[in-house]
Amino acid sequence: MTEQAGDRLGEFGRIERFFRPLAVGVPGAFDLTDDAAVLDIPADQQLVVTTDAMVSGVHFLPQDDPADLAYKLLAVNMSDLAAKGAEPLAYSLVTALPRAVGDEWVGAFAGGLGRAQKEFKVNLLGGDTVATSGPLSLTVTALGLVPFQRMIRRKGARPGDALFVTGHIGDAALGLKLAQGTLTSPVADNDRAYLLSRLRRPSPRLDFVASLRVFGTAALDISDGLIADLRHLALASKVRLHLDARAVPLSAPALRVLLSQPALRSLMLTGGDDYEVAFTAPQEKAEDIAAAAASAGIAVTRIGKVIEGDPGLDVSGTEGMSPDFGIGGWRHF
Amino acid sequence: MTEQAGDRLGEFGRIERFFRPLAVGVPGAFDLTDDAAVLDIPADQQLVVTTDAMVSGVHFLPQDDPADLAYKLLAVNMSDLAAKGAEPLAYSLVTALPRAVGDEWVGAFAGGLGRAQKEFKVNLLGGDTVATSGPLSLTVTALGLVPFQRMIRRKGARPGDALFVTGHIGDAALGLKLAQGTLTSPVADNDRAYLLSRLRRPSPRLDFVASLRVFGTAALDISDGLIADLRHLALASKVRLHLDARAVPLSAPALRVLLSQPALRSLMLTGGDDYEVAFTAPQEKAEDIAAAAASAGIAVTRIGKVIEGDPGLDVSGTEGMSPDFGIGGWRHF
């Protein structure tokens, strides 16, 4: 095995220096010195497991800031837990790194993970590091806890329920266009920074987890795009969802972009990478949900309802949007 | 997204057809239709978590049989559980596939996983499938159970303990030379088949798990090579290990290869990929261990002892082996 100029530490040295500090919060991670980690699961809780991988050139660009990547990698996995009503417990990490990736990159990546861990109150459990001749890829398996039989499924929405979403939708889709340089109209610096940050540092809605467990009948996080993911929820619950596109919450920076490029509105509803939670809940709980959201400091907006009918999604309020709107994203799994 | 000739099913179709059947044994996997899986952990048990990744061109060759890859991927993860005294519970899988990998390959891979699952009594929990421009890579996070505080660590060996290993050592190293075409002496067909099978289908020692928990003071599985892994165990336990190289159990096919190429003996002790369990246990338990091994149908051989002294490894019985013997593998983590 030859060593590169930027690779003085070696695999063992990198684990010891960069990753071991991330595991100090988990006694059963044994400072990453054993073959496996061990965890206690409280007797009244169940274990929730989710896995998300990110590949350079597919999910991010090689030149992206390693601290941003670290943040997003952890955030998208925490978002899955949050949408299932689970509290984060710990995570394992696999890094497949090309030889050209040096210690400096790994250090910046691990530093970003450390800051994200603190924010999400979760710690590294273990993992594996492998070399690859291909693109850098990163895999997290996140473990969470829910009270017994309280995981919120995609299945469970009932006709009569209202449909809600946290935060704002579509910022990341605009952020991606900014990152790709394909947004033609000028965007103010503040708005640009905001939209890019929504793409690079999504906010898993961990502060809403307890309320979601109280009120939610079905939920998922928006990763493939609002339209596609609402269809997933409708099919899993075997109900018809009605989405009022006019009710979908948009941020002020996004609204300013739409003023000059109104055609981007459909992209915002299909673009994905929002990592907000869409959920259904009994209509009569709407006020309680609003109060819970306010107390958690999270915007929650009613965007539609669950109706009788064939499983699927209806969308109203799409006047002026392209005629094939709502079809995109359907095949994206 | 363009579709290839061999890729008619698409990601969703592949999950439904090939991977969903692997998850039927885990009710909380929800047929792979939700964002996360949920598992019950019995109140008197702890959760053990381990992760191993395999990358084409690093850990296997592109032309390798997909069913063999599936077997090995699951086996190496089960081996980590077995060496920690844990019973398999479930596993998650991430596949990063180049576009050129078609449905036929994925079907053969999943079929191999299904057969391996049955053998190891474990089921698929969930995971992620991503596209990659690079080599095919496969990641498993395996979950297991141990009774409370009974995980066997690398740490825990005590001076006076005896050192044991399951099965035979070095078959996989010879199998790799056969696969690479670098074994110069002729090898009988039966022996060739046996040695290649030890490389491609290692046997995680799950049938010895309960006995290991009873007798073991420290343990790990041999993946980096016997010499390197015994050093890992010695350093983690802060003890000196004495290995008698003459006592290391070699299979009859391997012994026949050594007859014509005795110089390969050192390779067998350093080559790795054995996935046998090395463990320490009180010397006075040797007879009980032999009885337990016989009843489990697993060979267990005493190969050395734990002695006082600086943490590290002594090796005796290396007469005729190369002078730098025992140094190799040390940096491999």
Write out the residue limits of the CATH 3.90.650.10 domain(s) in chain B.
161-316
Mutate one of A17, A48, A49, A224 to test the B interface: name it (highest B CB count within 10 A).
A49
pLDDT of residue A333: 25
- When pLDDT is averaged across residues A196-218 and rounded to a whole number, the result is 97
* φ, ψ at A127 (rounded to 5°): 155, -150
d(CA A282, nearest CA chain B) in Å: 21
Is pLDDT of A124 > 70?
yes
Among chain B residues, CA nearest to A50: B36
Residue with tokens 């266009």: A177
What is the nearest CA distance from A152 to chain B, expressed in angstroms? Answer: 10
Which class for B105: exposed (0-12), middle (13-18), buried (19 or more C-beta within 10 A)?
middle
Backbone angles phi, psi at A123, to 5 degrees: -130, 155
Contact across the interface for A154 and B33, Cβ inside 8 Å: yes
pLDDT at B177: 96
For residues B171 and B130, give the distance between their C-alpha atoms in angstroms, rounded to a whole number.
34
Query: Could you give the angle at which helices B103-120 and B66-83 cross, rounded to 10 degrees?
Result: 30
Q: Class of B161-316 per CATH?
A: alpha beta
CB contact under 8 A, A137 and B132: yes
CB contact under 8 A, B94 and A236: no
Query: Which of B28, B30, B126 lies at the smallest CB-CB distance from A51?
Result: B126
Distance CA A266, CA A328 (A): 10
Nearest CA-CA distance, residue B124 and chain A, Å: 12
A323 has pLDDT over 80: no
Contacting residues of A for B311, CB less than 8 Å apart: none
| ipTM score | 0.91
CB B277 within 8 A of CB B220: yes
Digitized pLDDT (tens) for each residue of chain B, 333 residues in all: 344 445 678 888 899 999 999 999 999 999 999 999 999 999 999 999 999 999 998 888 888 999 999 999 999 999 999 999 999 999 999 999 998 899 999 999 999 999 999 999 999 999 999 989 999 999 999 999 999 999 999 999 999 999 999 999 999 999 999 999 999 889 999 999 999 999 999 999 999 999 999 999 999 999 999 999 999 999 999 999 999 999 999 999 999 999 999 999 999 999 999 999 999 999 999 999 999 999 999 999 999 999 999 999 999 998 777 655 654 433 322
C-alpha closest to that of B251 among B231, B234, B276, B229: B276
Residues B277/B303, Cβ–Cβ less than 8 Å? no
CATH 3.30.1330.10 domain locations along chain A: 10-147
* B49·A58 Cβ contact <8 A: no
Convert the pLDDT of each residue in A278-296 to its tens digit.
999 999 999 999 999 999 9
Q: How confident is the model at residue A62 (pLDDT cuts 50, 70, 90)?
A: confident
Interface test with B, best of A26, A47, A78 (most B CBs within 10 A): A47
What's the gap between Cα B203 and its chain centre?
Answer: 7
From chain A, pick out residues whose CB is under 8 angstroms from the CB of B135.
132-134
pLDDT of B333 reads 25
**Under an 8 A CB cutoff, do A146 and B58 touch?**
no
Nearest CB to B55 within list A36, A90, A96: A96
Interface test with B, best of A34, A45, A101, A238 (most B CBs within 10 A): A34
User: Coil, strand or helix: which one is A151?
Assistant: coil
Q: Which member of B33, B39, B131 has the closest CB to residue A49?
A: B39
Among A52, A94, A151, beta carbon nearest to B38? A151
- What pLDDT was estimated at residue B324? 58
Q: Which CATH superfamily is domain B10-147 in?
A: PurM-like, N-terminal domain (3.30.1330.10)
